[in-house]
Structure 1
Amino acid sequence: MYITISPQKTGGAFPKSSAGFVSYLEKENEGKSLENQEFFFNQEEDRVDPETVIQEIDGNTAKLKSSEPKFYSVTLNPSAYELKNVQSNEQLKAYTREVMKAYAQSFNRDIDGRPVNVNDLKYFAKLETQRTYKGTDWKIKENQPYATRILKLKNEMRRIRQGEQSGNLKSLQQQMDKLEREAPHQLNGQRITQGMPKEGNQAHIHIIISRKDASNRYSLSPGSKYKASQVVMNGKMVQRGFDRDHFFKQAEKVFDQKFGYRRNFVESYQARKMFLQQPKNYLQQLAKLPTPEKRIAFRMLRAAGLPNLPSIPTNKVQLALKTFKSLKRGVEIALKSGSIGI
């Protein structure tokens, strides 16, 4: 599971309206009849139109400064392995509602003398089923040398046609066709390029959440630099902060329980955190996995873009001495691909 939490935007003043972001989330509805469109949903409602979302989010910004975000965006991106256990889009929406309970519980503050709960949130979620390849995707990066050479040949052919230089157009076209075929990553017989729709089940969730609680009185910022803690303000003890660790762990736990998913070591939030903080321990734990689990782990990392994958290490000594540097670099790329980790 790959989960992101991001503010409305970074730097400078924030737009007064959520209209631009809501419009972006409507992109998959373009050209579809009303009955085939995906509506926004929240904890109680299944069919919320974009105009209502904009009105609700924009009208819930009391006392926020222009330098503060009006809303936050959360994305829930199940991996291809996880999606195999999800039987329908409705199940993914039900999971989202459970995740939002965990999101509310991760705030370390009180509202009217009680902990924050999901009813205090003003949020709207949207299911999307398509993704396109971006320049940061590992398949695009590995195809890039071929793309560069193809572009060079195209420019050369253009100059020949314009009479700027001489050359054999047929020969250049043959070279270009050969490069198209030899590119390592293909989809339906074509070289994978930026903007091309990704194959397979690409279901994921976008969530827009108001910075203010549903009553428009309290600020609920998941971007707080403070972890769950207490501080004295104006002579009074005040709770503050958002516990991201708790949120990420609960989101993972809810998925596993709801869908009966057996999570491999490399998919877990705890493992990703270990890799970032203690990479040698991560790789040693990877080496200690039972052979069947280890094979699955490396298959997942390979699918996520682990380059130059060495043979599976047989023990932690071999791992630490012979493959640590190259494997660490490769695992880092795979984890950042969005297929594994939070």
Structure 2
Amino acid sequence: MYITITPQKLGGNYSQGSADFVGYLEKENQGLEEGDMEHFFNQYGDEISAEEVIKDIDGNAAKLKKSEPKFYSITVSPSKYELNRLQNSSEDLKKYTRELMKDYVESFNREINGLPISIDDIKYYAKIEHQRSFKGTDIQIKENQSYATKILQLKTEIRNVQDGRAEGNINKMQKEVSKLEKQAPHQQDGKRIVQGMPKAGNQSHIHIIVSRKDASNTFSLSPGSKHKASEVEMHGKNVKRGFDRDKFFTSAEKTFDKTFGYQRNFAETYKARKDFIKNPKIYFAALMKLPTNEKALAFKIMGKTGIPMMPSIPVTQAQLAMKVFNRLRRGVEVAINSSSIGI
């Protein structure tokens, strides 16, 4: 499970409203028949239009400054193992979203009118998507970049020769291009992975847009709050504040497991990921104590992420592995600190 919480992007060319973001989420519906489209939904309704989402989110931002986000984006990306557990991706993910948002409100250390925040106190809309494309930030694109640069240079040289602006052996350069295409470390279906290429396999995931203000448009509820669950005196009263990210991420896993009867492996747990950052010795000690079958699956999952199997690495390779290991730890730490689950 990989979950991110991101505030509305402001400044520059970004708009003050939600129209751009909602429009982005409508991209998969382009060219589809009505019956094949994925519509927005919330806790109680389905087939909600993009226009209604924009109107409701933008109209629920009372007293917020231009510099303050009006909404937050939550992206929920189940792993391929989790997706394989689902019977119907769209309907199952809708069901999970509605349970997940209960975990979301329970992670706020806030009260409204003396009562804990409930699902009816927030305003959110969600949408299921089934496709993903490789982005410039993906490791596959970054590690293929040196090959992409050389290929582009060669193709430019070929065009210059073809147009008479330069001299050269076109056949030799074309063979070099073909060689580089095959040498690129990341391939999909026999082709070099490039930016914009659709990712293979089941890519179903959830996008959620949740208003910064509560449903009454009175109270501000920020999941990006830096305050841990605590109390502070304001205007002579003790006021609860803060959002417990650890609680939300842990609950998100438990809710998925309970809802779909999923047996979560050690390597998939949020706690294991945090141990991986804070105390690798504890992480690997716990890993090696797992039953044989579960340990084998954990190694398989870890292998997908590129984590070196430290206990089995010969001493002669340990220094190189440690460099990779430390780089991965830093990457995971950034993910955790930016409200993310996953490696």
Pairwise CA distance, 1:233: 1.0
Counterpart position of 1:272: 273
In the aligned structure 1, how far is the partner of 2:317 from the partner of 2:113? 54
In the aligned structure 2, how far is the partner of 1:225 from the partner of 1:80? 32
In the aligned structure 1, how far is the partner of 2:29 from the partner of 2:13? 30
In the aligned structure 1, how far is the partner of 2:91 from the partner of 2:324? 41
Pairwise CA distance, 1:274: 1.7
Contact 1:264 1:297 in 2 (8 A): yes
Pairwise CA distance, 1:10: 5.2
SS for the counterpart of 1:73 is: strand
Contact 2:10 2:16 in 1 (8 A): no
Distance 1:136 1:337, change over 3 A: farther
Counterpart position of 1:127: 128
SS for the counterpart of 2:311 is: coil
Counterpart position of 1:45: 45
Instruction: Report the TM-score when normalising by structure 2.
Output: 0.90
Amino acid at match of 1:6: T
Counterpart position of 1:177: 178
Amino acid at match of 1:196: M
Counterpart position of 1:72: 72
Counterpart position of 1:117: 118
SS for the counterpart of 1:181 is: helix
Pairwise CA distance, 1:313: 2.2
After TM superposition, list the pairs within 5 Å mapping 1:122-201 onto structure 2: 122-201=123-202
Percent identical:
57
Instruction: Could you tell me which runs of 5 or more consecutive residues in structure 2 were left unpaired when the two chains were aligned.
Output: none
Aligned-residue Cα RMSD (Å) equals: 2.8
Pairwise CA distance, 1:46: 1.0
After TM superposition, list the pairs within 5 Å mapping 1:289-304 onto structure 2: 289-304=290-305
Aligned pair count?
A: 338
In the aligned structure 1, how far is the partner of 2:267 from the partner of 2:50? 38
Pairwise CA distance, 1:247: 0.7
Pairwise CA distance, 1:134: 1.3
Q: Which moved more, 1:125-134 or 1:269-278?
A: 269-278
Q: Which moved more, 1:14-23 or 1:214-223?
A: 14-23
Counterpart position of 2:236: 235
Instruction: Could you tell me which runs of 5 or more consecutive residues in structure 1 were left unpaired when the two chains were aligned.
Output: none
Pairwise CA distance, 1:250: 0.5
In the aligned structure 2, how far is the partner of 1:336 from the partner of 1:109? 27
Counterpart position of 1:108: 109
Contact 1:14 1:68 in 2 (8 A): no
Counterpart position of 2:35: 35
Instruction: Report the TM-score when normalising by structure 1.
Output: 0.90
Amino acid at match of 1:224: S
Amino acid at match of 1:136: T
Pairwise CA distance, 1:77: 0.6
